[in-house]
């Protein structure tokens, strides 16, 4: 159990366009979902925390108008990178936790975004 999927796994887009990344918990209801960004050979950097039906909580320094997060249901959260620029190129990973083990986060496989 505790499987999280992400779609797409890779995306290449042109500068100025927007990209949407989906994160789904496949076999459990996710109380909370988290979005991370990871640079090569570095640790995970938390971008925001989202709970179903409420606004996401963004970490300091993360532009909420640029990284739009929607947590429409207990199994789906989306991250939209708006007006993407080359510096937004990165590996984006989502995770989800469930009520019975709120401190355990289960990660998706990640999305490699390349902005040209």
Partner 1 sequence: GQQLNQSPQSMFIQEGEDVSMNCTSSSIFNTWLWYKQDPGEGPVLLIALYKAGELTSNGRLTAQFGITRKDSFLNISASIPSDVGIYFCAGHLSNAGGTSYGKLTFGQGTILTVHP
Q: Does 70 bind partner 1 (CB under 8 A)?
A: no
* Candidate residues 42, 53, 86, 100; the one interacting with partner 1 per rule CB under 8 A: 42
- Residue 16 or 109 with smaller CB distance to partner 1: 109
Structure tokens at 55: 């606004």
Q: What CA–CA distance (Å, rounded) separates 88 from 68?
A: 13
Omega before 8 within 30 of 0, i.e. cis: yes
Structure tokens at 112: 């490699």
Q: Does 46 bind partner 1 (CB under 8 A)?
A: yes
- Residue 11 or 82 with smaller CB distance to partner 1: 11
Q: How many residues bind partner 1 (CB under 8 A)?
A: 27
């Amino acid at each position: 159990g505790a499987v999280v999927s992400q779609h797409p796994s890779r995306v290449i887009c042109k500068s100025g366009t927007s990209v949407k990344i989906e994160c789904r918990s496949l076999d459990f209801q996710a109380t909370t979902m988290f979005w991370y960004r990871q640079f090569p050979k570095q640790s995970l950097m938390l971008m925001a925390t989202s709970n179903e039906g409420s606004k996401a909580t963004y970490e300091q320094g993360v532009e909420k108008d640029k990284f739009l997060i929607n947590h429409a249901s207990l199994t789906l959260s989306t991250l939209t990178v708006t007006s993407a620029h080359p510096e937004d190129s990165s590996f984006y990973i989502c995770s989800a936790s469930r009520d019975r083990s709120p401190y355990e986060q289960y990660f998706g496989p990640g999305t490699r975004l390349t902005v040209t």
